[in-house]
Amino acid sequence: MRTSFVIGAALLALAVTPAIPARAADPEFTLSIRDHRFDPTELQVPAGVKVRLIVKNLDATPEEFESNELHREKVVSPGQQIVVIVGPLDPGTYGFFGDFHQDTAQGKLIAK
Tell whether 54 is covered by a domain.
Answer: yes
Tell whether 46 is covered by a domain.
Answer: yes
Q: Which helix (H) or strand (E) holds 104?
A: none
Q: Which domain covers residue 70, as residue numbers? A: 26-111
Distance from the first to the final alpha carbon of the chain: 60
Number of domains in the chain: 1
Tell whether 17 is covered by a domain.
Answer: no
Q: CATH number of the domain that 56 lies in?
A: 2.60.40.420
Tell whether 20 is covered by a domain.
Answer: no
Name 102's Cβ contacts closer than 8 Å, sequence gap at least 6. Answer: none
Tell whether 50 is covered by a domain.
Answer: yes
Tell whether 5 is covered by a domain.
Answer: no
Torsion on CA atoms 36, 74, 55, 30, rounded to nearest 10: -120
pTM: 0.76
Tell whether 62 is covered by a domain.
Answer: yes
pLDDT at 99: 93
User: How does pLDDT run across 80-106, given as a tens digit for each residue?
Assistant: 999 999 999 999 999 999 999 999 999
> How far apart are the C-alpha atoms of 45 and 108, rounded to whole Å?
10
User: How does pLDDT run across 31-83, given as a tens digit for each residue?
Assistant: 999 999 999 999 999 999 999 999 999 999 999 999 999 999 999 999 999 99
